Amino acid sequence: MEKIRIGIYGYGNLGKGVEIAVKSNPDMELKGIFTRRDPSSLKTVYSDSPVFNVVDAPKMKEEIDVMILCGGSATDLPVQGPEVCSMFNTVDSFDTHAKVPEYFASMDEAAKKANTLALISCGWDPGLFSVNRALFDAILPNGENYVFYGRGLSQGHSDAIRRLNGVKNAVQYTVPYDEAVRKVRNGENPEFSSVREVMWRECFVVLEDGADAEKVEKDIKEMPNYFEPYNTVVHFISEAELKENHFGMPHGGFVLRSGKTSENVNQVAEFSLKLDSNPEFTASVLVAYARAIAKMRKQGTTGAVTVLDVPVSLLSNKSRDELLKNIL
């Protein structure tokens, strides 16, 4: 069987996770890691992973079935996404929920023009949580979806802080309010007037020498979409303390729907994740969806799609007969 040829565009924690995940899937092959840095400076997880500069990507159009975009949503993807999907089928993890329609439109236009297929906003949220939100909403129309995150480190939000002037390094944890979780699991169907009542955000920030702490704190707390809608607490710590206490990247959370099918008949559906490593799990999701994108493109689909458009059979490397016999 011909292997699915994968490229990695951008090499941070997520890119490393994809490198590891591709190795775990025998029907896939890593054709290249593309970086804006000097390729020889990159320390890859496996010594045999081929590394190129991004400027060489266009030459490899015929050698890669799906390019997995591993840049951040704040500034990388809005530019890189449409550029790269003009050459390759892509999978990305664009996670600024409020800007999804706009990003979808720009990816759809670029991909349709280039006859490629672009899966946007993959991962676990947006991603698997979105699939469950849509599923639960369709199955239990008289109900309420609840989403809880953490306690866990959010890559996207940490990344957004790191890009601020005056910030050397940072991590951000999303923390659910215990009382809110208790009410939901009890089936009390509480009404939360905003996300602010459901969870809060805790930031640990290392400043650049001479940076203005007060200004950085204000810049974080007022950042639209990322922090403005939440209660946010900012701690300033040393680089040593950050390395010592905040090196893991755990995360998790759940989507729960509590709905009634008739009077006094309550039904609860829940999808939950407990992750030791958020980037490695997200990467595993991207890689499984890359398999689906390779198949869907072969079937003729082009333009932008989301996880909601992908049937789960395409994620699998099992044949229809195996799925019918052992999975269904």
Binding site for a second copy (CB under 8 A): 17, 20-21, 24-25, 97, 100-101, 104, 121, 126, 128, 130-135, 137-142, 261-262, 264-277, 280-281, 283-285, 288, 291, 306-313, 315-318, 321, 323-325, 327-328
Q: Cα 155 to the chain's mean position, in Å? A: 9
Cβ contacts of residue 254 below 8 Å, gap of 6+? 147, 148, 270, 271, 272, 273
Residue 84 or 315 with smaller CB distance to a second copy? 315
* Tokens linked to 297: 């493109």
Cβ contacts of residue 261 below 8 Å, gap of 6+? 140, 142, 267
Minimum distance from CB of 232 to a second copy (Å)? 24
Taking a C-beta distance cutoff of 8 angstroms, is the pair 176, 290 a contact?
no
Minimum distance from CB of 207 to a second copy (Å)? 31
Taking a C-beta distance cutoff of 8 angstroms, is the pair 316, 126 a contact?
no
Residue 24 or 53 with smaller CB distance to a second copy? 24
Minimum distance from CB of 124 to a second copy (Å)? 9
Residue 11 or 104 with smaller CB distance to a second copy? 104
Taking a C-beta distance cutoff of 8 angstroms, is the pair 75, 302 a contact?
no
Residue type present at position 21 = A
Burial class (CB in 10 A: 0-12, 13-18, 19+), 325: exposed
Residue 144 or 280 with smaller CB distance to a second copy? 280
Going by C-alpha positions, the residue among 199, 180, 201 that lies closest to residue 190 is 180
Residue 189 or 231 with smaller CB distance to a second copy? 189
Minimum distance from CB of 312 to a second copy (Å)? 5
Minimum distance from CB of 294 to a second copy (Å)? 13
User: How far is residue 82's CA from residue 94's CA, in Å, rounded to a whole number?
Assistant: 12
User: How far is residue 278's CA from residue 72's CA, in Å, rounded to a whole number?
Assistant: 14
Taking a C-beta distance cutoff of 8 angstroms, is the pair 127, 306 a contact?
no
Would the CA dihedral through 97, 98, 99, 101 be positive or negative? Answer: positive
Minimum distance from CB of 191 to a second copy (Å)? 17
Residue 101 or 210 with smaller CB distance to a second copy? 101
Minimum distance from CB of 26 to a second copy (Å)? 9
Taking a C-beta distance cutoff of 8 angstroms, is the pair 232, 158 a contact?
no
Residue 85 or 315 with smaller CB distance to a second copy? 315
